[in-house]
Amino acid sequence: MPLRTIFLRLMLWSLGLAAATGALAVLTQGGNLVGRLVGTGIATALACALMMPASLLIDRKQLRWAGLLCMAAVILEFLMALSLIWRIAQDLNVFIVDAETRITFTMVFLGLAVGAAMTCAVPLRTPRHAVAAKTALGLVTITFVAYLVAIWQPDSFRGHGSRSWGTANALAVLGLLTVPTLVGRSAGERWNWRGVGITASVAAWFMWSAEIWNPTGSRLGVVIFCALIGVGAVVAHANLCLVAVNLTSNQGWVRNGAITAAGATALLAVLVVTEDQFRGGVPIDAEIVGRFMEATGIIAACGTLALLVLARMNRKVDVEPGSIELAEIVLFCPRCRRKQSLSVGKSVCVSCGLRISIRVEEPRCANCDYLLRGLTSDRCPECGTPIGSPVAG
């Protein structure tokens, strides 16, 4: 029996169990036991629903690791959910303080980490995005371990525990800034202007980590940190706008406007922070600058959303197989010059009897098989592979 069918049947039985026990709880005003049975049925159904896409990934050789990772995560999430439903975690409070809270936090961050890792599965196969995908996988792993340390250490929410949370948050922000900056960069490609964003993001992470473990309270340090974060964010935003969005020649002003507005927002934010840190020492009207910052921020946000809309408008819709059949073609016979309509494949001229072989092929990407009909760009809009490149190994 196929694995998918097994999961579907388990889902049906689980939902049936949840329905029966739920109805029993309402009719008999059952206690905790019935409620736990309902929770177990729902948790089992959700676990089976998540297992199905994971089982489909296992069938694909290149994505098998992602499927196995997803299945392992679902099993762990299911076991932790059962420990909460049946109050096993509550019994652990004797040995571990706030065990239920810690398990809940672990479930949340495990789900986020696996979701981020699964998002990197497909770009990992594309040479143009492989560097960003590998970096994201590494940072996701390190950040998840940092969050686990923060969750499960004895003083989780005070002392060194709060510092561990700060360190994990710093790593998460580092990933949010560096990975978008690396999108579209192939291995061995020169860094150019994107290197500025990576350098600023890493420097901001070092400053943040140092302040967490050895606080100085430097006002100038706060301004420099905000400036570095701003540079990293602007470069990441600009790179995504340039690489991830395909526009026509007369739509480029929207992208330039969004990037310029984002840069202006970051600059004005640094000015506001500077005025806040050095009150009276900087001749800046924080209220006016703040209003301009809000205005440019709105323009940047709306411009970025407009880019997504334009990119979707420019994307060619792949016709469903069978909706348009390329069965014949109109041509002139190369011998008698008679215009006629002939069937695709082997045909014969209706006038002179010349045998003609006709082959029709839609233009498709060699890497992902995306339909390229009517494309104006020199790269595949789906995976970024240059048109005419051989299939990626």
Q: Where are the domains of the chain?
A: 1-119, 328-358
Tokens found for residue 102: 């810690």
pTM: 0.73
pLDDT of 376 = 65
Dihedral (CA of 316, 261, 186, 130) sign? negative
Q: Distance between CA atoms of 241 and 233, rounded to whole angstroms?
A: 12
Q: Give 302's contacts (C-beta < 8 A, 6+ positions apart).
A: none
pLDDT of 320 = 46
- In tens, the pLDDT along 18-74 reads 666 556 655 555 557 767 777 777 888 788 788 777 777 776 777 777 888 888 888
Radius of gyration of the chain from its Cα atoms, rounded to whole angstroms: 29
Q: Distance between CA atoms of 212 and 215, rounded to whole angstroms?
A: 6
pLDDT of 22 = 57
pLDDT of 336 = 86
- In tens, the pLDDT along 172-231 reads 999 999 999 998 876 666 768 899 999 999 999 999 999 998 998 899 999 999 999 999
Average pLDDT, the chain: 82
Q: Are the beta carbons of 209 and 173 closer than 8 angstroms?
A: no
Identify each DSSP E strand in the chain by its residue range: 328-332, 339-343, 345-348, 355-358
Rounded mean pLDDT for each run of 10 residues along the chain, 393 residues in total: 62 65 57 72 80 74 78 85 79 76 93 89 77 92 94 74 88 94 77 89 95 90 95 95 82 93 96 86 84 96 93 65 64 85 84 86 77 71 65 41
DSSP code for 346: E
pLDDT of 390 = 47
Q: Distance between CA atoms of 293 and 275, rounded to whole angstroms?
A: 14
- Nearest alpha-carbon partner for 354 in 374, 367, 364, 340: 340
Helix (H) or strand (E) holding 353: none
Q: Please, is 58 exposed, middle or buried when counting C-beta atoms within 10 Å of its C-beta (0-12, 13-18, 19+)?
A: middle
Please calculate the CA angle 122-242-308 and round it to the nearest 5 degrees: 70
What percentage of the chain exceeds 70 in pLDDT?
81
